[in-house]
């Protein structure tokens, strides 16, 4: 660890102009900056000098974290501020490195910064991690052409070139990801490229390097190197130094990663050029700060490659028709076959998916209809799809729907039915193209190439939604701005683009083939038309399910918590899988608000949750979800506003779950708790599902036997008391929810599998097919679902191979009944073994109506009390986490700032 502190004696400056804590504290205002995009944590503390648009460095610290950034960042920040005598309330701005770098590392810094800035009600300014490296080198006295080569894993790097002059740092190219060997070739100029221009050749002032960075010694090789060579920095040199050494002169290793000074100088540069104002909290809402990825997730990249192939396969089953391919009939199903038709229809019956080559002819036909002489051919459209710097999206409606303004729900149902029915037929996808949009990402902006909507489906927001999807991809690819050309006569399109935040910059004369002028428009990236990060919010579903909350709220609005709110007020966050949720509980155990943003629409087309997409959506949604949670709580309490500072603790799910998703919630919650100086409470997700029973039955108390059935867990638990649990038996392979999802995927029914199988099963015969019931008579309480899943897939394969039509309802009903029979038998055994007189449920599968009815019958027969969470509380939600947190608050069971997220946790072990 190295500490580089340089205290300044600048005159005091006025406080920030936001409503944040620093403005109220008076005296100097400070900015807290940090970056965790690689193996080194960089922290900087600076004093804001508005009169000079200056960020005066106060102190900095670098820590070699070795993938422990989430445990080391906040303790180091806390220590640094304490050493400098700076209170949290004096922080007027938070500055964070946005990457590019390690995806998880970038999200740790971003989520922590969002939590701190949100709780302090100050602005959050994101700066480039690579620019921070360049400014750190500049501060050390380096001048000339510099290439920062950051590690991107997978034998790839993020290479960006800068020009370092006496007046500062100038970026020469946008962020991108490149194979390391290709990047080295480009920097060597092997292909004859020279993007650096006629600027002076680089030099190193070794004396300035020695004076600028404490502890950096310039070796003879560096100080003696002649002029005319490119300078090199970046943590990519750790792996690829030998590869890049022929490209130029490698700077000292201390200059390879961001520094606190570099972060502060990058912020100052943005302030002086008008790109940022650290004292304007409204301009720099933490919700709007996002990481720089430079590429889509692996799942999305692979999807684009697959969809760009114009193979004559059935779009539902993935099977190539015999008459077109001349192949032997083979309709065996695997878990990966039925991938692309799982996208869900919206309320208007529209399905949005990445454009595939199979529909390039439809785009060309619509082009001819709506674009006239500017229409693209099918070949031109198809040529676009495999290109890595392109994003193309399409909108589809069910065959036969007419685009009328009425009947949105019916059309949505029709669109879903079209996908469902196509699972059992051999051609088509039951959908027709009604709109498309495409963009080219280059030099940090996306150029919109095409936007088209069927005239019968216009004025539905389809064009705006398509542009939002293209913009979302472009943002992941490193873009921050949007540009396009539109016909001067097309006033309707210009109005749409202005509504999306674009403005006219000029006219390009005679741009179109008929010599009509084009209006050039530019602006920020448009967003999809949803509540938060492209997701609809579910508000107070769990709260309204419990009688404990009846009458909550006060009739008259007050400033701050009303007398109706009993302290402590605890905000809890849930992010263990594909829901971003927040809830507030009061001291009486009443859920004051409960908000859930579900990512199902983003995962459905992949047939299951994609961990990287889940993590990305959490970082986008978490601020908006928490803001909505506070606003809803204020309304329910009769207050004009409920602020972060009114909270008494912050809680979060820390395990088990998808660790990348959990990290976002944990880092955000820790940041908020630290900023507020209130207790930080970690909660076991599985214990939350046990507490979910209190939402429907506030008087519920152990002892009890609980069946936890979800996508990731299947177990029977003996609740001896709150906080004392014994696992009686668990699955030895697949969880129940996982089996439902995989069977639904094999049938082409979409994701999530539980609800759709339940709906289809209602039309089928549960005794039609004798599927196995593994371990039903094993005389223990273990479960096994993999054999049942395999039996269903084998049955589907055999029926298809024999040319028999599938009875999807019968398959679903028989599969579901096999699952229910085993669950009920094991639950009855557990009740007999323990002597418990209460039986409970927990987990997403607890919403299955057949399972609930079977448990009702079992408990009635055995004379046992049945306690079930309301349907709204079966899935993941933050209300159940808040209820656990309240008990842990009362018991003083708090987590430290070095707490981390974990993929696994033992429910039996105290924590």
Question: Coil, helix or strand for 456?
Answer: helix
Domain 298-480 has CATH 3.40.630.30: yes
Question: Coil, helix or strand for 506?
Answer: strand
Cα torsion 343, 348, 349, 350: sign: negative
Question: Coil, helix or strand for 236?
Answer: coil
Question: What stretch(es) of the chain map to CATH 3.30.420.40?
Answer: 1-294, 572-692+877-911, 704-869
Residue indicated by tokens 């229809």: 345
What phi, psi does 621 have (nearest 5°)?
A: -95, -20
Instruction: Give binding residues as ranges.
Output: 685, 689, 708-712, 741, 754, 848, 876
- Can you tell me the distance from the alpha carbon of 740 to that of 160, in angstroms, rounded to the nearest whole number? 46
Instruction: Give binding residues for Fe cation as ranges.
Output: 685, 689, 876
- Can you tell me the distance from the alpha carbon of 642 to that of 622, in angstroms, rounded to the nearest whole number? 17
Q: How many residues are recorded in the chain?
A: 911
- Can you tell me the distance from the alpha carbon of 687 to that of 590, in angstroms, rounded to the nearest whole number? 18
* In the predicted structure, residue 58 carries a pLDDT above the cut 70: yes
Mean pLDDT of 412-428: 43
User: Mean pLDDT across the chain, nearest whole number?
Assistant: 86
- Can you tell me the distance from the alpha carbon of 206 to that of 211, in angstroms, rounded to the nearest whole number? 9
Max Cα–Cα distance, the chain, nearest Å: 90
Predicted TM-score of the model (pTM): 0.87
Degrees, nearest 5: CA angle 215-254-149 = 170
What are 778's two structure tokens?
Answer: 């094993």
- Can you tell me the distance from the alpha carbon of 440 to that of 382, in angstroms, rounded to the nearest whole number? 14
pLDDT band at 478 (very low <50, low <70, confident <90, very high): confident
Question: What stretch(es) of the chain map to CATH 3.40.630.30?
Answer: 298-480
What phi, psi does 83 have (nearest 5°)?
A: -65, -35
pLDDT band at 1 (very low <50, low <70, confident <90, very high): very low
What are 477's two structure tokens?
Answer: 């690819």
What phi, psi does 408 have (nearest 5°)?
A: -60, -45
CATH of domain 704-869: 3.30.420.40
Residue indicated by tokens 């996982």: 738
Q: What is the pLDDT of residue 415?
A: 42
* In the predicted structure, residue 228 carries a pLDDT above the cut 70: no
pLDDT band at 605 (very low <50, low <70, confident <90, very high): confident
CATH of domain 1-294: 3.30.420.40
Convert the pLDDT of each residue in 798-837 to its tens digit: 999 999 999 999 999 999 999 999 999 999 999 999 999 9
Give the single-character DSSP code of 141.
T
pLDDT band at 530 (very low <50, low <70, confident <90, very high): low
Instruction: Characterize the bridge pairing of strands 591-598 and 579-585.
Output: antiparallel
* In the predicted structure, residue 195 carries a pLDDT above the cut 50: no
Mean pLDDT of 194-201: 39
Q: What is the pLDDT of residue 336?
A: 39
Cis upstream peptide for 700 (omega within 30°): no
Instruction: Give binding residues for substrate as ranges.
Output: 708-712, 741, 754, 848
Count CB atoms within 10 A of the CB of residue 624: 22
Q: What is the pLDDT of residue 403?
A: 62
DSSP H or E stretch at residue 200 = none
Is 570 in contact with 672 (CB distance < 8 Å)?
no
Cα 820 to the center of its chain, rounded Å = 34
Q: What is the pLDDT of residue 207?
A: 35
Q: Rg of the chain over CA atoms, in angstroms? A: 29
Mean pLDDT of 535-558: 57
Number of H helices, E strands in the chain: 27, 33
What phi, psi does 150 have (nearest 5°)?
A: -95, 150
Residue indicated by tokens 């002029």: 227
Cβ-proximal residues to 295 (8 Å cutoff; 6+ apart), any chain: 177, 301, 476, 477
Question: Coil, helix or strand for 857?
Answer: helix
Higher pLDDT, 224 or 432: 432
pLDDT band at 545 (very low <50, low <70, confident <90, very high): low
Give the single-character DSSP code of 733.
S
Count CB atoms within 10 A of the CB of residue 318: 19
What phi, psi does 24 have (nearest 5°)?
A: -75, -30
DSSP H or E stretch at residue 756 = helix 753-761
Q: What is the pLDDT of residue 193?
A: 45
- 3-state secondary structure string, 273-340? CCCCCCCCCCCCCHHHCCCCCCCCCHHHHHHHHHHCCCCCCCCCCCCCCHHHHCCCCCCCCCCCCCCC
Convert the pLDDT of each residue in 133-166 to its tens digit: 999 999 999 999 999 999 999 999 999 999 999 9
The runs of H, that is alpha helices, within 158-281 are: 180-188, 206-212, 220-223, 237-244, 260-272
CATH of domain 572-692+877-911: 3.30.420.40
Count CB atoms within 10 A of the CB of residue 890: 10
Question: Coil, helix or strand for 757?
Answer: helix
Lowest mean pLDDT among 6-15, 35-44, 190-199, 782-791: 6-15
């Amino acid at each position: 660890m190295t500490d580089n502190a340089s205290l300044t004696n600048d005159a005091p400056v006025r406080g920030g102009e936001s409503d944040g804590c620093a403005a109220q504290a008076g005296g100097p205002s400070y900015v807290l900056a940090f970056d965790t995009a690689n193996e080194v944590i960089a922290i900087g503390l600076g004093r804001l000098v508005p009169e000079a648009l200056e960020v005066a460095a106060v102190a900095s610290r670098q820590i070699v974290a070795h993938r422990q950034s989430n445990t080391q960042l906040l303790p180091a920040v806390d220590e640094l501020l304490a050493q400098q005598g700076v209170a949290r309330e004096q922080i007027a701005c938070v500055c964070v490195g946005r990457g590019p770098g390690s995806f998880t590392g970038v999200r740790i810094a971003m989520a922590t910064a969002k939590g701190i800035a949100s709780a302090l009600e100050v602005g959050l300014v994101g700066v480039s991690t690579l620019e921070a490296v360049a400014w750190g080198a500049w501060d050390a006295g380096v001048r000339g052409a510099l290439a920062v080569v950051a590690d991107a894993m997978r034998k790839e790097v993020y290479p960006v070139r800068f020009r370092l002059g006496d007046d500062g740092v100038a970026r020469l190219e946008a962020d991108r990801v490149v194979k390391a060997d290709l990047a080295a070739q480009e920097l060597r100029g092997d292909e004859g490229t020279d993007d650096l221009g006629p600027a002076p050749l680089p030099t190193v002032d070794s004396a300035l390097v020695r004076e600028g960075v404490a502890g950096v010694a310039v070796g003879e090789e560096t100080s003696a190197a002649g002029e005319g060579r490119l300078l090199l920095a970046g943590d990519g040199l750790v792996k690829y130094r030998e590869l890049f050494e022929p490209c130029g002169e490698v700077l000292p290793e201390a200059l390879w990663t961001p520094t606190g000074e570099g972060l502060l100088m990058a912020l100052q540069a943005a302030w002086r050029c008008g790109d940022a104002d650290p004292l304007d909290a409204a301009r720099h809402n933490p919700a709007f700060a996002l990481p720089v990825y430079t590429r889509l997730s692996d799942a999305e990249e692979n999807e684009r490659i697959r969809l760009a192939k114009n193979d004559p396969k059935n779009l539902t089953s993935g099977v190539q028709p015999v008459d077109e391919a001349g192949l032997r009939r083979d309709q065996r199903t695997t878990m990966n076959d039925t991938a692309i038709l799982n996208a869900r229809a919206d309320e208007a019956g529209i399905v949005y998916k990445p454009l595939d080559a199979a529909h390039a002819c439809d785009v060309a036909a619509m082009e001819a209809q709506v674009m006239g002489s500017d229409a693209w051919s099918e070949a031109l459209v198809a040529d676009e799809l495999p290109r890595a710097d392109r994003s193309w999206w399409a909108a589809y409606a069910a065959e036969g729907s007419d685009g009328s303004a009425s009947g949105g729900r019916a059309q949505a149902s029709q669109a879903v039915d079209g996908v469902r029915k196509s699972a059992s037929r051999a051609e088509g996808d039951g959908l027709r193209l009604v709109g498309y949009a495409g963009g080219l990402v280059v030099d940090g902006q996306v150029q919109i190439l095409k936007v088209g909507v069927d005239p019968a489906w216009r004025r539905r927001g389809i064009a705006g939604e398509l542009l939002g999807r293209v913009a979302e991809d472009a943002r992941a690819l490193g873009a921050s701005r949007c540009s396009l050309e539109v016909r001067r006569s097309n006033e309707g399109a210009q109005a749409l683009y202005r509504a999306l935040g674009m403005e006219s910059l000029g006219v390009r004369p005679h741009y179109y083939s008929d010599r009509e002028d084009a209006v050039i428009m530019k602006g920020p990236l448009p967003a999809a038309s949803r509540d938060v990060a492209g997701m609809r919010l579910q508000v107070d579903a769990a709260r309204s399910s419990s009688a404990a909350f009846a009458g909550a709220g006060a009739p008259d609005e007050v400033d701050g918590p009303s007398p109706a709110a009993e302290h402590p007020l605890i905000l809890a966050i849930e992010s263990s899988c594909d829901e971003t949720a927040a809830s507030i509980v009061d001291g009486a155990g009443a859920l004051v608000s409960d908000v859930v943003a579900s990512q199902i629409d983003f995962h459905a087309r992949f047939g299951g949750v994609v961990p990287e997409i889940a993590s990305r959506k959490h970082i986008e949604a978490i601020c908006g979800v928490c803001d909505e949670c506070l606003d809803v709580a204020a309304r329910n309490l009769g207050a004009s506003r409920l602020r972060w500072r009114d909270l008494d603790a912050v809680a979060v799910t820390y395990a088990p779950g998808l660790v990348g998703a959990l990290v976002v919630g944990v880092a955000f919650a820790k940041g908020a708790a630290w900023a507020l100086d209130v207790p930080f409470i970690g909660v076991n997700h599985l214990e939350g599902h046990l507490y979910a029973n209190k939402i429907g039955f506030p008087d519920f108390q152990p002892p009890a036997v609980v069946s936890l059935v979800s996508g990731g867990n299947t177990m029977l638990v003996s609740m001896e008391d709150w906080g004392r649990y014994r696992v009686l038996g668990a699955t030895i392979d697949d969880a129940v929810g996982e089996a439902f999802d995989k069977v639904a995927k094999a049938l082409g029914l979409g994701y999530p599998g539980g609800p759709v199988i339940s709906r289809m099963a209602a039309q089928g015969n549960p005794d039609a097919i004798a599927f196995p019931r593994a371990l039903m008579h094993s005389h223990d309480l273990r479960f096994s679902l993999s054999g049942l899943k395999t039996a269903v897939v084998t049955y589907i394969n055999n029926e298809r191979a024999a040319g028999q039509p599938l009875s999807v309802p019968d398959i679903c009903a028989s599969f579901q009944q096999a699952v229910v029979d085993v669950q009920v038998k094991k639950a009855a055994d557990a009740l007999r073994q323990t002597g418990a007189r209460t039986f409970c449920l927990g987990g997403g599968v607890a919403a299955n109506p057949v399972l609930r009815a079977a448990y009702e019958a079992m408990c009635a027969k055995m004379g046992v009390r049945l306690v079930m969470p309301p349907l709204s509380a079966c899935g993941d939600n933050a209300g159940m986490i808040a209820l656990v947190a309240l008990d842990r608050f009362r018991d003083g069971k708090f987590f430290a700032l070095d707490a981390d997220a974990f993929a696994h946790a033992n429910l039996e072990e105290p924590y």
